[in-house]
Amino acid sequence: MTASNEINVLKPESTDLRRIGLELYFLCVPLIALSAYLMDTRIMTCVIVGNLAMRFMLLGRRADWIFLLIGVIAGGGNDLMSMLKDVYYYTPPSLLKQYGAPIPIWMLLYWGHIFVSFRQLFQLPVFQGEPPAGKPWAIDKRLIADIIVVVAFRIIIYNTVKNEPWPTIGFASVLLLRLLVIPPKKHEWLLIAAVMALGPAFEAALIGFGLYVYYDPILGGMPAWLLIYWIFAMPILLKGIFDRIEWGQMRKKNT
């Protein structure tokens, strides 16, 4: 198979609006439980596990487990570092608190669910770009730039979280530089718009039900720097990583 034919044949599985709607339904089911059982670890764990199992039975796609594990590790890891640096804090009891991680244990699985849901969103045809010209995990300008942004954001927020407006100014400056260095393409701007319409509203609901608390909130319990972070974290950083995984899986499957 020639390189040109490979590009025409090998494409990650796409999705549609019906599946997106069902994905959002399953993602929002735990919100109902949060409104009544936020402080009950056993009930919340059962709800999260049962809802996730049902989601996998009805909407499961090839390699979803990879993205689930990424969510558990990356989401849980970010939570842990944020707890240690006092960026925000959870209100429900945690079985992991004795191990230095005051995170509700069911939240780790929910992070996995959130990442799998974003995988589904990313695979709408309108948000898909061109396949990579070379190896999906080649070190390129975008990967280097995104790593630099992640490190810069971590340094800024860990050291200035309680000193607004500095975290907001820092996040805005770093993100603006990233967008100037590598301007988003049309499908990336569309994804940014979709994520900003859905993501902050979803997080505001979690905050509204009392799951966790941020300092210096300005909208829906969220600080300004977090809204800026939403622009980068999911539609730029996570989409870029997921695309590399998707294309890597397709290349591996057809070699």
The percentage of residues in the chain with a pLDDT greater than 90, rounded to a whole number, is 80
Q: Which amino acid is at 3?
A: A
pTM of the model: 0.92
Tokens 């100037």, located at residue? 180
Token pair listed for 178: 């990233």
Q: How far apart are CA 173 and CA 154, in angstroms?
A: 14
Residue range 3-22: average pLDDT? Answer: 74
Kindly list the distances between the CA atom of residue 127 and the CA atoms of 4, 122, 236, 255, in Å, as whole numbers in the listed order: 22, 6, 11, 26
Q: Which two tokens stand for residue 216?
A: 């210096």
Would you say how long the chain is, in residues?
255
pLDDT at 5: 46
Q: Write a three-state SS string for 220-236.
A: CCECHHHHHHHHHHHHH
For residues 72 and 138, give the distance between their C-alpha atoms in angstroms, rounded to a whole number: 25
Over residues 137-175, the pLDDT tens digits come to 889 999 999 999 999 999 999 999 999 999 999 999 999
